[in-house]
């Protein structure tokens, strides 16, 4: 299974995402921001970082990068797409997911091992988890406060589209403790925490993040 | 105003020049005139004044720093020694590691966020310029008292700046220090260390050789930031349309630097760079003169080809600008197209500004008229060298006589318990998570250990598990009591931290932070510290590979505590064998290695409880440090120990606090017979470590210590939800955690 990892200028966790794909048994494929297509991959990861320096707004310029038109088309066609941290911000800016991220409530960058609850274990990226399962993966960002209007939040809740919630202290002021969401179809998932940093006990706090990548590979194997 | 060309300068010998405002002494200015055989042009004066500054020329420290080279222990691992942008060390499997520490003290006081941010940016470019991929950073920091109003301005800004820049560069921050002392109040120390990795064949050096090779400036455009004295030259023009006050602190753009890193690494791997130099202090002045004087010929530059952010800059300002995120490359003409294609791919602006010549001169033209014509060695290498007078201060004897032995000590369980909690919560010993949680420690996916561990450990090679460990340490109080011993204690602690994590120490970098060299007492501290460090490195077999000197850290007559910060680099053949510091398994035995003596001079206890500084620092025994290191490294390699923590500030008590809180697993210890419980818990004797050993390997571990004749005592056992000292006191881990972790949030969360 070939999983594309997009590198924008300023992407930082692209190598980590590719490594996580490899650890899970997939083949990572390098995609460049200026590419016109996604090279026939089966799924795409938009990694963390500060794409284009997060100038204007986090993820705003990356949302308009050439490769993103191809990613948006593929996502609308059902291809699994995962946005991690800056990638989540890009998915929101590209209107594949609703809402936006503001600066953390305490206005500081925060890096810590974060407990999350998997609220929807039926998406392309979460099927390896149990519904309600708690996992610990790193969280690291300065613009991580998820916001949306009340109606959107109510809709997300009603449709089971809140994919992850922070457990314990809310680290950044995100509304309703939302850490990640999915689209209605369940193929596009975005979250602020970093599952790709929790795939190896030597370098991560846990291996709880591996399930994201095994989920999508498993799903494709049965597709 | 007429352009000040070399021709004009030759014809107007009596033209008044602002050499004093640019920081030059009269005899230095006279020497420049002697070298040139005429007065310097404004542009030449700008170049000489910055390159002959203390910061760039090491004119006060040079005569002492020679010791590091002269006394360097032989090391087969050293591929590039002192004098280049950074030293390079062989770590096996064809890999090499480069690392260096630098200061950005003064800018960080003036403008904490940008000062600290550009400190990170500068050291990262030094590492990049060696041909290496930067893989980790760490930041030893020192501030005035935690409760001082100005510390609440400086510390949060510095931490946010380091995080803002380093996080955006994608470099894990794996350790460092945060220390408070009143002497740093108007002189915070912001030191930054970077580690990079490269293959042996990728080493790049800063020299411009090969006649006809092109000089290429690439990265950010040159602007008016970071210009110190050049604005004085600019103001000569009396031109009201020009911006008169320019910031002297540089402004960083980490996104530009991230792109520059990836772009440079692609240029290196395409083998289209002959020589490379980063632009830091003194900007183009430094890069051109150093590249040319390290090369085999001369250099010609057309300065008007430099891409500018501000078209009103004068030639002198362009030469002195310290705009960040710029690199200068030397490129063979046949590789130029390939070079430009790569910079274009990364959208990095590039200008070919000159070429290597065979004249032996550095000639810089401005629109066809020559404004600089110098022998580059006279700018870059043959600056003034001072043998500054130095003298042991008159107060040194009184200070050493003021022993802490008569200070009232806690007695009995309740008072010892209270002292342990007081120290665990003291600013210098309290948890630094408030700081380090603002740094990304995960990015790149190779961080195996990071703060609060003994040392930062990063993996270099996925296949073999090869990795490196780095620790920085320094103790200004010890160094004030005895500068020679203080520098060795800094070295010993960093060495011990690296060995405690299981790595074999191989090389040293240092950042020597002191007061004014014009004060003979400060100069004595400096000379003694260098002597101590050079002797220590010789004994431990770890050469100094490079570093930085920061002088004039003082306000009025009062200098900072003399603060040599020492970074030690170690190698781990397999990072999976590293030793973490936290206790994990109930039932593991706790051993104390080394000998505990009554040593409280300069201790954290005397500082926190009594505000006392006097006496002598703990005794240094580098042979013991080496033996201890060998045991810890062998034990890690053979899987004999589960956890280890070096003993330093705050002694055994603090090590127990940190080891139990790491994973929330308690410990029960007993004070051995024949030692006073207070001394046992709080002495800062050196050459000691705390180790947790599984029952399965207990016998082998004890045998290992016995074979090497190193003192070891079984003092307790891991387990429970409290830290207990038999017959004296218990502290519940929740209470301990509250004490240890509340200090920083209480001080800095407004």
| B161 pLDDT higher than 80 | yes
| B242 pLDDT higher than 60 | no
Å from A144 to nearest chain B CA? 13
Catalytic-role residue among A33, A85, A145, A197: A85
- Mean pLDDT (whole number) for B255-262: 94
Question: In angstroms, rounded to a whole number, what is the distance separating the alpha carbons of residues B83 and B545?
Answer: 8
Q: B259, A49: Cβ pair inside 8 Å? A: no
Question: In angstroms, rounded to a whole number, what is the distance separating the alpha carbons of residues B352 and A175?
Answer: 52
Best residue in A111, A169, A205 for a mutation probing chain B (most B CBs within 10 Å): A111
Q: What percent of chain B has pLDDT over 70?
A: 97
Contacts of B363 (CB under 8 A, 6+ apart): B298, B299, B300, B301, B357, B370, B372, B373
Q: B258, A50: Cβ pair inside 8 Å? A: yes
Where in chain A does DSSP place strands (E)?
2-7, 27-32, 43-46, 81-84, 100-102, 110-118, 134-141, 145-147, 162-166, 178-182, 188-191
Best residue in B124, B266, B442, B663 for a mutation probing chain A (most A CBs within 10 Å): B442
Question: In angstroms, rounded to a whole number, what is the distance separating the alpha carbons of residues B174 and B456?
Answer: 5
Å from A118 to nearest chain B CA? 22
Q: Which ipTM score applies to this complex?
A: 0.96
Residue B539 CA to its chain's centroid (Å): 22
- Mean pLDDT (whole number) for B141-161: 97
| B234 pLDDT higher than 50 | no
Catalytic-role residue among B64, B104, B588, B612: B104
- The confidence score (pLDDT) of residue B557 equals 87
Known catalytic residue: A111? no
Q: A203, B576: Cβ pair inside 8 Å? A: no
- Mean pLDDT (whole number) for B142-151: 96
Question: In angstroms, rounded to a whole number, what is the distance separating the alpha carbons of residues B572 and A52?
Answer: 36
- Mean pLDDT (whole number) for B33-54: 94
Note whether A32 contacts B: Cβ–Cβ < 8 A.
no
Contact status, residue B88 vs residue B75, Cβ threshold 8 Å: no
| B730 pLDDT higher than 70 | yes
| B233: confidence class by pLDDT, cuts 50, 70, 90 | low
Å from B503 to nearest chain A CA? 16
Catalytic-role residue among A33, A119, A145, A196: A196
| B529 pLDDT higher than 90 | yes
Catalytic-role residue among B15, B27, B55, B607: B55
- The confidence score (pLDDT) of residue B236 equals 43
Contact status, residue B51 vs residue B28, Cβ threshold 8 Å: no
- The confidence score (pLDDT) of residue B1 equals 57
Question: In angstroms, rounded to a whole number, what is the distance separating the alpha carbons of residues B719 and B704?
Answer: 25
- Mean pLDDT (whole number) for B372-387: 94
Q: Which residues of A touch B168 (CB under 8 A)?
A: 10, 12, 50, 53-54
By CA distance, what is A137's nearest residue in B?
B442
| B230 pLDDT higher than 80 | no
Q: What does the pLDDT look like over B299-325, one tens digit per residue?
A: 999 999 999 999 999 898 899 898 999
- The confidence score (pLDDT) of residue A111 equals 97
Mean pLDDT of chain A: 96
Å from B497 to nearest chain A CA? 20
Q: A112, B437: Cβ pair inside 8 Å? A: yes
Domains and CATH numbers, chain B: 6-61+204-380 (3.90.650.10)
Contacts of B452 (CB under 8 A, 6+ apart): B431, B432, B433, B436, B581, B658, B662
Note whether A9 contacts B: Cβ–Cβ < 8 A.
yes
By CA distance, what is A201's nearest residue in B?
B448
Question: In angstroms, rounded to a whole number, what is the distance separating the alpha carbons of residues B455 and B453?
Answer: 5
- Mean pLDDT (whole number) for B653-664: 98
Class of residue B402 by CB neighbours under 10 A (exposed 0-12, middle 13-18, buried 19+): middle
- From A9, A138, A196, residue closest to B347, measured CB to CB: A9
Question: In angstroms, rounded to a whole number, what is the distance separating the alpha carbons of residues B62 and B58?
Answer: 5
The residue behind tokens 């960093």 is B494
Q: A108, B575: Cβ pair inside 8 Å? A: no
Give the neighbor-by-neighbor strand order of the sheet with B214-219: B275-278, B326-331, B214-219, B350-357, B298-302, B362-366, B369-374
| B555 pLDDT higher than 90 | no
- Mean pLDDT (whole number) for B192-206: 92
| B229 pLDDT higher than 70 | no
- Mean pLDDT (whole number) for B49-63: 90
| B232: confidence class by pLDDT, cuts 50, 70, 90 | low
Contact status, residue B247 vs residue B239, Cβ threshold 8 Å: no
- From A15, A49, A142, residue closest to B445, measured CB to CB: A15
- From A53, A109, A194, residue closest to B167, measured CB to CB: A109
| A1 pLDDT higher than 70 | yes
Question: In angstroms, rounded to a whole number, what is the distance separating the alpha carbons of residues B267 and B260?
Answer: 10
Contacts of B138 (CB under 8 A, 6+ apart): B173, B174, B175, B176, B192, B193, B456, B470, B472
Known catalytic residue: A85? yes
Å from B437 to nearest chain A CA? 5
Chain A (135-154) residues lying within 8 Å, Cβ to Cβ, of chain B:
138, 140, 142
Q: Which of B379-383, B653-657, B660-664, B743-747 has the lowest mean pLDDT?
A: B379-383
Is the pLDDT higher at B243 or at A122? Answer: A122
Q: B443, A19: Cβ pair inside 8 Å? A: no
- The confidence score (pLDDT) of residue B550 equals 94
- The confidence score (pLDDT) of residue B228 equals 64
Q: What does the pLDDT look like over B410-461, one tens digit per residue?
A: 999 999 999 999 999 999 999 999 999 999 999 999 999 998 999 999 999 9
Task: From B338, B202, B340, B359, select the one nearest B295 (Cα to Cα).
Answer: B359
Contact status, residue B540 vs residue B493, Cβ threshold 8 Å: no
Note whether A55 contacts B: Cβ–Cβ < 8 A.
yes
Q: What does the pLDDT look like over B457-507, one tens digit per residue?
A: 999 999 999 999 999 999 999 999 999 999 999 999 999 999 999 999 999
Long-range CB contacts (within 8 A, 24+) of A147-155: A147/A99, A147/A100, A147/A101, A147/A102, A147/A174, A147/A175, A148/A98, A148/A99, A148/A100, A148/A175, A152/A98, A152/A99, A153/A178
- Mean pLDDT (whole number) for B48-59: 90
Domains and CATH numbers, chain A: 2-221 (3.40.50.880)
By CA distance, what is B255's nearest residue in A?
A53
Q: Which residues of B touch A5 (CB under 8 A)?
A: none
Q: Which residues of A touch B346 (CB under 8 A)?
A: 9
Å from A160 to nearest chain B CA? 31
Q: Residues of B at the A interface (Cβ-Cβ below 8 Å)?
A: 160, 163-164, 167-170, 253-256, 258-259, 262, 346-347, 436-448, 459, 462, 575-576, 749
Q: Which of B251-255, B400-404, B736-740 has the lowest mean pLDDT?
A: B251-255
Q: A10, B255: Cβ pair inside 8 Å? A: yes
Contact status, residue B441 vs residue B450, Cβ threshold 8 Å: yes
- The confidence score (pLDDT) of residue B248 equals 66
Note whether A108 contacts B: Cβ–Cβ < 8 A.
yes
- Mean pLDDT (whole number) for B674-678: 96
Which residues make beta-bridge pairs with B96?
A: B90, B198
Best residue in A5, A7, A9 for a mutation probing chain B (most B CBs within 10 Å): A9
Question: How many beta-carbon pairs below 8 A join chains A and B?
Answer: 86
Å from B731 to nearest chain A CA? 26
Q: A53, B346: Cβ pair inside 8 Å? A: no
Q: What does the pLDDT look like over B14-32, one tens digit per residue?
A: 999 999 988 899 999 999 9
Q: What does the pLDDT look like over B604-622, one tens digit per residue?
A: 999 999 999 999 999 999 9
| B33 pLDDT higher than 60 | yes
Best residue in B174, B266, B440 for a mutation probing chain A (most A CBs within 10 Å): B440
Q: What does the pLDDT look like over B618-656, one tens digit per residue?
A: 999 999 999 999 999 999 999 999 999 999 999 999 999
User: Residue A141 is encoded by which pair of tokens?
Assistant: 């960002």
- Mean pLDDT (whole number) for B661-686: 97
Mean pLDDT of chain B: 94
- The confidence score (pLDDT) of residue B247 equals 60
Question: In angstroms, rounded to a whole number, what is the distance separating the alpha carbons of residues A192 and B275?
Answer: 41
- From A13, A50, A109, residue closest to B438, measured CB to CB: A109
- The confidence score (pLDDT) of residue B626 equals 97
Note whether A35 contacts B: Cβ–Cβ < 8 A.
no
pTM above 0.90? yes
Note whether A23 contacts B: Cβ–Cβ < 8 A.
no
| A173: confidence class by pLDDT, cuts 50, 70, 90 | very high
Q: A203, B445: Cβ pair inside 8 Å? A: yes
Q: B254, A12: Cβ pair inside 8 Å? A: no
- From B253, B440, B576, residue closest to A111, measured CB to CB: B440
Q: Which residues of B touch A197 (CB under 8 A)?
A: 442, 445
User: Residue B630 is encoded by which pair of tokens?
Assistant: 């060998």
């Amino acid at each position: 299974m070939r999983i594309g990892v997009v590198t924008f200028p300023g992407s930082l966790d692209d190598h980590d995402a590719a490594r996580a794909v490899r650890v899970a048994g997939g083949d990572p494929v390098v995609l460049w921001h200026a590419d016109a297509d996604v090279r026939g991959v089966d799924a795409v990861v938009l990694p963390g970082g500060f794409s284009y320096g997060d100038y204007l707004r986090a993820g705003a310029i990356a949302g308009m990068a050439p490769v993103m038109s191809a990613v948006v088309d593929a996502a609308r066609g059902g291809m699994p797409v995962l946005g991690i941290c800056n990638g989540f911000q890009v998915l929101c800016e590209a209107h594949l997911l609703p809402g936006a991220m503001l600066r953390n409530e305490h206005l500081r960058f925060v890096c810590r091992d974060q407990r999350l609850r998997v609220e929807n274990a039926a998406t392309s990226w979460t099927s390896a988890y149990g519904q309600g399962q708690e996992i610990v993966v790193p969280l690291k960002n300065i613009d991580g406060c998820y916001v949306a209007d009340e109606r959107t939040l109510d809709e997300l809740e009603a449709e089971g589209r809140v994919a992850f919630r922070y457990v314990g202290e809310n680290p950044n002021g995100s509304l309703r403790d939302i850490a990640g969401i999915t689209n209605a179809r369940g193929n596009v998932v975005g979250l602020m925490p970093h599952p790709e940093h929790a795939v190896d006990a030597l370098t991560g706090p846990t291996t709880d993040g591996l399930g994201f990548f095994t989920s999508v590979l498993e799903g494709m194997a049965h597709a | 105003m007429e352009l000040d060309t070399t021709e004009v300068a030759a014809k107007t010998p009596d033209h008044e020049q602002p050499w004093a405002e640019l920081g030059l002494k009269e005899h230095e200015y006279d020497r420049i005139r002697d070298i040139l055989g005429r007065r310097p042009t404004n542009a030449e004066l700008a170049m000489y004044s910055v390159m002959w500054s203390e910061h760039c020329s090491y004119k006060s420290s040079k005569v002492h720093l020679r010791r590091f080279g002269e006394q360097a222990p032989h090391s087969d691992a050293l591929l590039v020694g002192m004098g280049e942008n950074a030293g390079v060390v062989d770590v096996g499997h064809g890999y090499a590691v480069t690392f260096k520490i630098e200061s950005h003290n003064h800018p960080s006081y003036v403008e904490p966020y940008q000062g600290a941010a550009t400190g990170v940016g500068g050291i990262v470019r030094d590492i990049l310029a060696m041909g290496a991929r930067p893989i980790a950073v760490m930041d030893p920091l020192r501030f005035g008292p935690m409760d001082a109003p100005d510390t609440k301005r400086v510390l949060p800004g510095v931490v946010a700046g380091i995080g803002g820049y380093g996080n955006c560069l994608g470099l894990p921050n794996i350790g460092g220090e945060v220390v408070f002392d009143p002497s740093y109040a108007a002189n915070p120390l912001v030191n930054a260390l970077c580690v990079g990795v490269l293959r042996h064949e990728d080493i790049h050096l800063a020299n411009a050789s090969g006649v006809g090779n092109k000089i290429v400036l690439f990265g950010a455009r040159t602007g008016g930031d970071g210009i110190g004295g050049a604005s004085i030259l600019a103001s000569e023009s009396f031109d009201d349309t020009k911006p008169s006050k320019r910031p002297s602190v540089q402004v960083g753009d980490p996104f530009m630097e991230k792109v520059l890193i990836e772009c440079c690494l692609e240029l290196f791997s395409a083998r289209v760079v002959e020589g490379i130099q980063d632009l830091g202090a003194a900007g183009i002045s430094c890069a051109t003169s150093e590249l040319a004087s390290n090369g085999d010929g001369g250099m010609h530059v057309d300065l008007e080809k430099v891409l500018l952010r501000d078209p009103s800059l004068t030639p002198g300002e362009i030469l002195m600008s310290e705009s960040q995120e710029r690199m200068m490359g030397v490129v063979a003409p046949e590789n130029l197209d390939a070079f430009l294609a790569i910079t274009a791919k990364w959208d990095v602006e590039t200008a070919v500004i000159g070429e290597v010549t065979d004249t032996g001169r550095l000639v810089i033209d401005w629109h066809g008229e020559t404004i600089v014509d110098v022998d580059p060695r006279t700018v870059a290498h043959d600056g003034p060298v001072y043998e500054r007078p130095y003298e042991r201060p008159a107060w040194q004897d009184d200070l050493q006589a003021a022993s802490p032995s008569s200070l009232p000590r806690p007695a009995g369980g309740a008072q010892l318990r209270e002292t342990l909690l007081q120290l665990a919560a003291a600013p210098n010993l309290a948890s630094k998570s408030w700081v380090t949680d603002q740094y990304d420690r995960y990015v790149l996916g190779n961080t195996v250990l990071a703060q609060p561990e003994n040392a930062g450990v990063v993996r270099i090679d996925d296949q073999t598990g090869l990795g490196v460990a780095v620790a920085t340490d320094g103790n200004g109080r010890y160094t004030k009591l005895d500068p020679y011993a203080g520098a060795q204690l800094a070295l010993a602690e960093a060495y011990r931290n690296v060995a405690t994590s299981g790595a074999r120490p191989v090389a040293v970098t240092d950042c020597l932070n002191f007061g004014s060299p014009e004060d003979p007492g400060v100069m004595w501290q400096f000379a003694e510290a260098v002597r101590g460090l050079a002797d220590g490195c010789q004994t431990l077999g770890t050469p100094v590979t490079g570093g930085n000197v920061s002088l004039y850290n003082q306000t009025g007559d009062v200098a900072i505590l003399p603060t040599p910060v020492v970074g030690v680099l170690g190698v781990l053949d397999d990072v999976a064998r590293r030793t973490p510091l936290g206790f994990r398994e109930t039932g593991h035995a706790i051993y104390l290695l080394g000998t505990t003596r009554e040593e409280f001079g300069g201790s954290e206890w005397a500082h926190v409880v009594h505000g006392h500084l006097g006496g002598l620092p703990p005794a240094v025994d580098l042979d013991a440090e080496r033996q201890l290191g060998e045991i810890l490294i062998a034990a890690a390699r053979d899987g004999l120990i589960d956890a280890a923590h070096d003993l330093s500030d705050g002694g055994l008590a603090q090590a127990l606090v940190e080891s139990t809180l790491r994973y929330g697993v308690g410990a029960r210890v007993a004070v051995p017979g024949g030692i006073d419980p207070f001394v046992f818990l709080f002495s800062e004797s050196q050459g000691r470590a705390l180790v947790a050993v599984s029952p399965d390997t207990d016998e082998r571990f004890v045998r290992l210590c016995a074979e090497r004749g190193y003192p070891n005592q079984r003092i307790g056992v891991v387990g429970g939800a409290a830290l207990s000292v038999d017959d004296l006191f218990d502290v519940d881990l929740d209470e301990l955690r509250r004490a240890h972790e509340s200090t920083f949030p209480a001080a800095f969360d407004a």
